[in-house]
Homo-oligomer: A and B are copies of this chain.
């Protein structure tokens, strides 16, 4: 299944419109190109309706949001909905500021999302209004662990049911759930947290996977998480002496560029609950 999903991305070259933060945007573009997609960025309200119309999917990431880009998120989201495009929300820093929380909540009310992808603190904020956050990183106290896995899986399914979206919660253990099923994924490396934007990159990548696999969005979202995590493992193995987080960033994107369906099938570590 994963093999076919990832090969669909390379076959179809999905064009993804990204409204995303200026911190990690270059890596988001390169990871989309690495996986076989095609990125376009636009966050001007007067530009986004046209741009999203020629794309197959929309990735809304609220990091470094501003008044203009927020207006653009709503305009693009509504247009993408009208056209039946795949739409993903990455609620970066929800819980860290009132504006970010409000923007994410309002977006969920006014735009129909296929997937919401964030860390556990951001997702808890959206689900319960009670998440805490350490800036743009998850609070350790919230982390999904083997000790709380049953409860965490139930939470993910429950929020997926309530929101009507596939919910992807990423961390040391990743959960990708709809109301019925939850992929519990154990790919990745802790050192990925020392690179800025691996979450943002995953959101871009995942949107391309959704566009190329429109009838299997749960599986496509899970495949994207496995791809990113496996690339983190391969990139880590490829590190040369004296390299650190900046080179690691390159090696992860390189690993996605060089990954094929068979590698993903072999390397993915998941169970379905």
Q: Are A33 and B253 in contact, CB atoms less than 8 angstroms apart?
A: no
* A23-B26, A246-B257 given; 13 more Cβ-contact pairs under 8 Å: A24-B26, A26-B197, A30-B196, A34-B246, A40-B135, A46-B99, A47-B66, A47-B97, A47-B100, A50-B99, A243-B251, A244-B253, A244-B256
Instruction: Say how far A61's CB is from chain B's closest CB, in angstroms.
Output: 12
Q: Which residues of A contact B (CB under 8 A)?
A: 15, 21-27, 29-30, 33-34, 38-44, 46-47, 50-51, 54-55, 63-68, 93, 96-100, 133-137, 194-197, 234, 238, 242-247, 249-258
Complex: A272 Cα to B242 Cα, angstroms: 31
| CB-defined contacts of A21 to chain B, threshold 8 Å | 41
Q: Are B15 and A41 in contact, CB atoms less than 8 angstroms apart?
A: no
Q: Which of B46, B54, B98, B197 contacts A29 (CB 8 A)?
A: B197
Instruction: Say how far A170's CB is from chain B's closest CB, in angstroms.
Output: 17
Instruction: Say how far A118's CB is from chain B's closest CB, in angstroms.
Output: 15
Q: Are A249 and B246 in contact, CB atoms less than 8 angstroms apart?
A: yes
Complex: A46 Cα to B29 Cα, angstroms: 28
Most chain-B CB neighbours within 10 Å: which of A22, A68, A244, A253? A244
Q: Which of B26, B41, B55 contacts A26 (CB 8 A)?
A: B26
| CB-defined contacts of A98 to chain B, threshold 8 Å | 50
Complex: A66 Cα to B22 Cα, angstroms: 14
Residue of B nearest to A24 (CB): B26
Nearest first, the 8 A-B pairs at minimum CB distance are A244-B257, A244-B254, A50-B97, A246-B253, A29-B196, A246-B250, A40-B135, A44-B66
Q: Are A44 and B65 in contact, CB atoms less than 8 angstroms apart?
A: yes
Q: Are A99 and B33 in contact, CB atoms less than 8 angstroms apart?
A: no
| CB-defined contacts of A256 to chain B, threshold 8 Å | 244
Instruction: Say how far A140's CB is from chain B's closest CB, in angstroms.
Output: 11
Instruction: Say how far A211's CB is from chain B's closest CB, in angstroms.
Output: 13
| CB-defined contacts of A30 to chain B, threshold 8 Å | 195-196, 245-246, 249
Q: Are B42 and A64 in contact, CB atoms less than 8 angstroms apart?
A: yes
Q: Are A34 and B194 in contact, CB atoms less than 8 angstroms apart?
A: yes
Q: Give me 19 A-to-B residue pairs in the complex whose CB atoms sit less than 8 angstroms apart, sorted by A's number.
A: A22-B22, A27-B246, A29-B197, A30-B195, A33-B194, A33-B245, A39-B135, A40-B93, A41-B64, A44-B67, A47-B99, A50-B98, A51-B97, A51-B135, A234-B242, A242-B251, A245-B254, A246-B254, A247-B254
